Amino acid sequence: MTLTASTVPAEARSSARPRWRRALRAWPAYAAIAPFFILFLCFGLYPTAYSLVLSFQKWNGLGAPEWVGLDNYVQLVSDETFLLSVRNTFVIFALSTIPMMIIALVVAAMLNNAVRYSTTLRIAYFVPNITSVVAMAILFGAIFGESFGLANALLNAVGLADVKWLSSPFGIQLTISILITYQWTGYNAIIFLAGMQSIDSEIYEAARVDGAGPVRSFFSITLPLLRPTMIFVLIVSTITGLQSFTEAQVLTGGPSTTNPNSGGTGQGGLTMVLYFYQQAFSHNKFGYGASIAWGIFLIVLVFVIISWRYSVKREDPTR
């Protein structure tokens, strides 16, 4: 009895104090985290929710919106241009992500073993990631110019024929992929490097004692232990890759006012997000644009779930 008597009041006291009063007492903490959440509400959550409403409407941006129910989505699934933009996006994603992962791994392994100037080298590899994409895309536009670009001049110098970098659909996709690879390889190499440095050096020493060379160590120790890092890089690359926009917009844009944001020749550079941008902001179809944006969201979601499920399943046995 005494035990219960002494415990009950304590419990009663804590439950009698309403939650909001506890919250009130902690208000400085809430105030401190408030800026992010208020900004997120105003510029993140609200626009997202509104775009969902907009995707059920027909609106040119000026007049009164008209409620059209699922019409935009019905149009979306049968829209060949949207399907083309999905295909373009995946081609660019594959052409950029696979080489990028491989090069980033090699760069990270080299940086990991670099004895001299390692900080300078790391900065050098990171610089493309913090350079303006627009500036780089303009520069790439000049380098990959068809008749007078540097890339074709180099190809000619070694006896190869001109490549239609920016005037054929696949050429455009290739150029965009090279730009994305150039931009993100250094960033991912730094992440891989961080992952490599967290691998215990005793494992390598043990392997060396057993007679493993550097190549064997890389494939048998570094790669398997780098798995979580690689999955992180893959997921982030998937999200950013499926949303590629700026590179395509600047490289294929030109000053054209007649057919803006159409993705260049054969619409080869028309990524999903560029198509959304064109429909909403060039053709003033804000409702349809919003439904494209939600279509993109669903596609990205599916891929993130796939990579996530895969990673969790494969990690389980080690736990």
Partner 1 sequence: MRLNTSRGRPLVAAFAAIAALSLGLTACTSDPGGEADSDGSLTMWIWPGGLSDTVVETVTADNPGLETSVIGDDFKQKLLTGFTAGADIPDITGVKGEDMPFFLQEPDLFTDLNTLDIDDVVGDFPEWKLAEATTEDGKLLGLPIDIGPAGLFYREDILKNADLPTDPDEVGAATATYEDYFAFGEELQKADPEAHLEVSAGGLFGKIMGQSETKFVSPDGDFLGESDAVRNAWDLSIEAWDRGLVAGIEDGSPDWASAVNAGVLPTLSGAAWYAGDIKNNAADTAGKWRVTQMPGGPANIGGSFLTIPAATEDKEAALKVIKELLSPENEAVMYTETGNFPARITALDEPGLHDGDDFFGGQDTVSVFVEASENMPTVYNSPLDNQVAAPYYTELGNVQTGKDPEQAWADAVAAAKEALESA
- Which range in 1-9, 27-35, 110-118, 214-222 contacts partner 1 by CB under 8 A? 27-35
Encoding tokens for residue 210?
């057993």
Q: Which is nearer to partner 1, 75 or 311 (CB)?
A: 75
20 binds partner 1 (CB under 8 A): no
Q: Applying CB under 8 A, does 259 fall inside the site for partner 1?
A: yes
For 268, counting Cβ atoms within 10 Å of its Cβ (0-12 exposed, 13-18 middle, 19+ buried), the class is buried
Output 164 or 227, the one with its CB closest to partner 1: 164
**Listed ranges 181-189, 193-201, 265-273, 297-305: which one lies at the site for partner 1 (CB under 8 A):** 265-273
Rounded CA separation 232/142 (Å): 34
Please state whether beta strands 66-67 and 57-58 pair in parallel, antiparallel, or not at all (unpaired): antiparallel
Q: Is residue 117 helix, strand or coil?
A: coil
Q: How far is the CB of 313 from partner 1 (least distance, A)?
A: 42
Q: Which of the stretches 60-68, 190-198, 228-236, 304-312 binds partner 1 when contact is defined by CB under 8 A?
A: 60-68
Q: Does 42 bind partner 1 (CB under 8 A)?
A: yes
Q: What does DSSP assign to residue 257? A: S
CA distance 163 to 70: 44
Q: How many helices (H) and strands (E) does the chain have?
A: 17, 2
- Shortest distance in whole angstroms from residue 183 CB to partner 1: 20
Taking CB under 8 A as the criterion, the residue among 47, 214, 224, 254 binding partner 1 is: 254
Q: Is 148 in the site for partner 1 (CB under 8 A)?
A: yes
The total number of residues written for the chain in this structure: 319
Residue 258 within binding range of partner 1, rule CB under 8 A = yes
Give whichever of 294 and 303 is closer to partner 1, judged by the CB atom.
Answer: 294
Angle between helices 169-197 and 227-242 (to 10 degrees): 150
* CB closer to partner 1, 165 vs 294: 165
Q: Which stretch binds partner 1 (CB under 8 A): 4-12, 94-102, 201-209, 252-260?
A: 252-260
DSSP assignment string, 264-299: SGGGTT--HHHHHHIIIIIS--HHHHHHHHHHHHHH
How would you class 96 by CB atoms within 10 Å of its CB: exposed for 0-12, middle for 13-18, buried for 19 or more? buried
Query: Are 262 and 278 within 8 A, CB to CB?
Result: yes
Residues 184-223 that bind partner 1 (CB under 8 A): none
Q: Please, which residues have CB within 8 angstroms of residue 314's CB and are 6 or more apart in sequence?
A: 227
Q: What residues between 66 and 125 interact with partner 1 by CB under 8 A? A: 75, 81
With binding defined as CB under 8 A, does residue 168 bind partner 1? Answer: yes
What is the nearest approach in angstroms of partner 1 to the Cβ of residue 281?
A: 6
Residue numbers of the site for partner 1 (CB under 8 A)? 28, 31-32, 34-35, 38-39, 42, 60-63, 75, 81, 141-142, 145-149, 164, 166-169, 254-259, 262, 264-267, 281-285, 288
